[in-house]
Amino acid sequence: MPKPGELTFVAPRGAKKPPRHLADLSPAERKEAVAAIGEKPFRAKQLSQHYFARYAHDPAQWTDIPAAAREKLAGELLPELMSVVRHISCDDDTTRKTLWRLHDGKLVESVLMRYPDRVTMCISSQAGCGMNCPFCATGQAGLDRNLSTAEIVHQIVDGMRALRDGEVPGGTPSGGGPARLSNIVFMGMGEPLANYKRVVGAIRRLTDPEPDGLGLSQRGITVSTVGLVPAMHRFADEGFKCRLAVSLHAPDDELRDTLVPVNTRWKVREVLDAAWEYAEKSGRRISIEYALIRDINDQAWRGDLLGRLLKGKRVHVNLIPLNPTPGSKWTASRPEDERAFVAAIAAHGVPVTVRDTRGQEIDGACGQLAATER
Ligand code: SAH
């Protein structure tokens, strides 16, 4: 049995792999795949143009490719990966959650949030999650499986298409119309660094220039982790300029062992050291995520301890009012405790903000992505 947080993943017996898709492949591999079915290698570029630059995965739209070749290419390189079960919107429709069904029936979710000045998409990297954090809805259900690179990328391709097509209203009363995606956060279902290779592949597809990829900025991508230390070191060596978020939730090992069970393997000290290494190599500030849970981790002395640990570092603290999961005995902090906690951190000169919790009424807010078909 792998220990918690170990990077091994054993596919359940009889599980069928997700179909191979253009977005799983590097540009060179795409050419080979096209040649292997007897098509001209330049068709790979045409397909990439359709998928990554026009978000057109319906062969009927590929008018620069002979009709006879379209079906063959589509079957080989653009199989249907997932279908929308439903969209649910709130915040005047500026927040939209999508429930997806994958080829094997597994369910995952993504959330689009449109603000006046930016659009953020929160995506899943695994179906379920194996990290077992007791306050997180996804953690309660356990891990189904890793998503493939293309299953991760496709959530964003579809989001970009929806924004282009004006399906998500703007964040201002007069706003609306088409929009561009500015930020991507790996804060949906799953632990991204436990699905390392596919997540790194997805980051390349998202950030390679069009038409090899989507041409998004690495700076606009945030990878959030419970603190898988060896994978954090490895990630620091990829040379990305992405933001790294660390879900700390407690400054002391005693409490963190219970809130983030993988802490029994890698301690607060080691997690923070790996984070500082990433900050050093990437030049980016680390984002420390901390869900404030009433009377559990929100004491001013813990805020003070956190401030001491982070003082002088390239860091920003993001406090998240706990979004209670169904049946949980825990809830968000009292306003006065939240204020005292913020002040205790700020007293050390550490930048701290409280996160806005969009999408609460559609179970789309932090930690609420647990794709049960109701
Ligand atoms: N596995 C990754 C990413 C997914 S969760 C990670 O843990 O970082 C994204 C963020 O939401 C994490 O910081 C997570 O701890 C937090 N979160 C989970 N459940 C929550 C809840 N019920 N209320 C508030 N934040 C929660």
**Tell me, what CATH number does 72's domain have?**
1.10.150.530
Dig out the tokens for 137 from the structure. 């809805």
Contact 342, 303 (CB under 8 A): yes
Same domain as 353, residue 262: yes
Dig out the tokens for 93 from the structure. 């429709």
Residue 270 domain flag: yes
Final residue before a domain boundary, out of 77, 108, 142? 77
Backbone angles phi, psi at 126, to 5 degrees: -140, 155
Query: What pLDDT sits at residue 141?
Result: 85
Residue 225 domain flag: yes
Q: What's the gap in Å between 290 CA and the centre of ligand 1?
A: 9
Q: What's the gap in Å between 243 CA and the centre of ligand 1?
A: 16
- The Cα 374–Cα 372 span in angstroms is 6
**pTM recorded for the entire structure:** 0.94
Q: What SS3 class is residue 184?
A: strand
- The Cα 5–Cα 144 span in angstroms is 15
Of 274, 295, 259, 285, which Cα lies nearest the Cα of 352?
A: 285
Residue 2 domain flag: no
Same domain as 64, residue 101: no
- How many domains are there within the chain? 2
Query: What pLDDT sits at residue 6?
Result: 46
Q: Is the CB of 52 under 6 A from ligand 1?
A: no
| Most ligand 1 atoms within 8 A of CB, residue of 133, 136, 293, 325 to mutate | 136
Query: What pLDDT sits at residue 1?
Result: 43
Query: What pLDDT sits at residue 178?
Result: 82
- The Cα 57–Cα 47 span in angstroms is 9
Query: What pLDDT sits at residue 9?
Result: 47
How, if at all, do strands 183-186 and 119-122 pair? parallel
Query: What pLDDT sits at residue 374?
Result: 47
- The dihedral formed by the CA atoms of 226, 227, 230 and 232, expressed in degrees to the nearest 10: 90
Which residue range forms the structural domain that includes residue 193? Answer: 82-373
Tell me the average confidence (pLDDT) per consecutive run of 10 residues in the chain, 374 residues long.
47 73 97 95 96 93 94 94 92 88 95 91 97 92 96 97 88 68 96 98 98 97 98 98 98 98 98 98 98 98 98 97 89 97 98 82 64 58
Dig out the tokens for 255 from the structure. 């409490």
Query: What pLDDT sits at residue 202?
Result: 98
Residue 3 domain flag: no
Same domain as 56, residue 182: no
